[in-house]
Amino acid sequence: MEQMNELVESVLESAAEHGLWSPHDTIVVAVSGGPDSVALLHILHEISLNRMPLTLICAHVNHGFRPESVDEAESVRAMAGRLGLPFELAEFDIPSLVKESGLGPEGAAREKRYQFLIDTAHRYAARSVALAHHADDQAETVLMRLLRGSGPSGLAGMRWKRTEKKVELIRPFLRINKTALVSLCRQEGLPYAEDASNLMTEYRRNAVRLNLIPALEAYNPQVRQSLLQLSEIVQAEDEYMEAAAEKYFNELVLVEPGKCTMQRALFTGIPSALQRRLIKLILNYLSADSSSLDFPKIEAVRRGTLQDYPTVWSLNMGGSLICMRQYDTIVFSSKPPQQQLSYTYRLSLTNPRIEIKEIGKVLMMSVLERENFTVLGEDSGKMLAWFDSGELVLPLTIRSRLPGDTIRVMGLNGSKKVKDIYIDDKIPSSERAAIPLVCDDLGNIVWIPGVRRSMHAAVGRHTASVLLLSLEDMEKSEEALWPK
């Protein structure tokens, strides 16, 4: 009983430190029938009886891998009965599922197991599912992730608790090694099953446990403890860094449906460690599947953002995620790039108002006598333009941009490509499709709203009447037509 008390105290200390449970919580305990989970069930039962009121449910999964699985399930059922606990059983044919899904046996078993445990927690309105992963499991996990090239979040190992589908997955044994758990079962006479597959080195984790760690212990006998300490340190620092990254996310990132935008100048001012985390946070926000977001892709975005040139680029991040640099703006999008719009409208004195529904704009035309019109100044960059109505050849055509379009700009000898003007003005490529072109009846581009007007039909001292064009948002135009 002395060892039981020691382990109870250790578990209670960890639970208090990491907030694993509160009095009167309902906890689903995952019990495979091995020594780890059998010890977990009995330690939590001891706590619930004598230290803190908890409601426990014993849950077992028969994966259908081995003939003895049925007997193990009945053994766990009998154990729950002796402790007076509800018992929940799930039976799966994992070998068949592997053939159907294409997943590996470990992946398929894990997916079905967690699904059952979380569903059981929902049925019992339980706050959490308790898992029996221990210190040796943690050391193996950290080493496997180190070999895989994981960053700090991976080297932090398994978390004491994490939330999945509104259920907390808790691991009270992460500081307790397996020998202590096996010793408890033997001392207390608790029956447990030995899984022969744990000795099969074709499974990567088994190979790490049985071959690699013993080899490393020849160089450092305390290698397991070192890996465990690494996990503890990195986990605390990782949580701190994640909180800092979230703070920058809230301050620097403009979030819209399917899109996140940030300014390059603000991004370059934060530490590089947080730059990577911020990029990953943005990509995780836009995609539920972050499995393809590896270091090279995140680093490509970071370096491309920091470099002065090129100022325009696009990177396919995989999983329908795209990152684009548009001069001083970085855009992350989970939507496919906007296709080139194609539209044509006619504007005349008999039809002086048109709605360009493709871009949500309204173009209006009016004619004023010269004495009733005051030149407002340079019209470049405004949503208004004025022309000598006697010189402008009507009707006007309003259309989308075409390859090779040019405009004769005031003050410039000759024509200039519209595309080059957009580049010079640093107009993002994603915004160019929303800019209409206004052409006279001879096909000359006379105005690019908000960008440039041409040299055609300029208002001068001999102008008798002025043709005024204005481009507005459709909503604003409707408000003007229908005042409240």
Residue 380 pLDDT class (50, 70, 90 cuts): very low
Q: What's the whole-number mean pLDDT along residues 138-167? A: 94
By mean pLDDT, which of 49-53, 343-347, 367-371, 388-392 is the weakest? Answer: 367-371
Per-residue confidence (pLDDT) for residue 483, from 0 to 100: 39
Token look-up 């009998």 returns 78
**What are the angstrom distances between the C-alpha of 360 and each of 266, 426, 471, 483?**
31, 22, 10, 19
By mean pLDDT, which of 28-37, 63-72, 129-138 is the weakest? Answer: 63-72
Per-residue confidence (pLDDT) for residue 80, from 0 to 100: 98
Share of the chain above pLDDT 70, in %: 89
Q: Which residues contact 460 (CB under 8 A, 6 or more apart)?
A: 388
- Classify domain 2-231 at the CATH topology level: Rossmann fold (3.40.50)
Residue 230 pLDDT class (50, 70, 90 cuts): very high
Residue 476 pLDDT class (50, 70, 90 cuts): low
Residue-wise pLDDT tens digits, 33-64 = 999 999 999 999 999 999 999 999 999 998 76
Query: Given the DSSP bridges, would you call strands 128-130 and 353-356 parallel, antiparallel or unpaired?
Result: unpaired
User: Higher pLDDT residue, 254 or 382?
Assistant: 254
Q: Binding site membership for ATP: which residues?
A: 32-37
Q: Binding site membership: which residues?
A: 32-37
Q: Is the pLDDT of residue 1 over 80?
A: no
Give the chain's mean pLDDT: 89
User: Higher pLDDT residue, 289 or 432?
Assistant: 432
Residue 339 pLDDT class (50, 70, 90 cuts): low
- Classify domain 344-481 at the CATH topology level: Phenylalanyl-tRNA Synthetase; Chain B, domain 3 (3.50.40)
Residue 101 pLDDT class (50, 70, 90 cuts): low
Q: Is the pLDDT of residue 337 over 60?
A: no
Per-residue confidence (pLDDT) for residue 381, from 0 to 100: 46
Per-residue confidence (pLDDT) for residue 413, from 0 to 100: 78
160: Cα separation from own chain's centroid? 22
Per-residue confidence (pLDDT) for residue 427, from 0 to 100: 86
Which CATH code is given to the segment(s) 253-333?
3.30.465.60
Per-residue confidence (pLDDT) for residue 347, from 0 to 100: 93
The domains of the chain are located at 2-231, 253-333, 344-481
Q: Name which of 84, 83, 98, 88 is nearest 31 in CA terms.
A: 88
Share of the chain above pLDDT 90, in %: 65
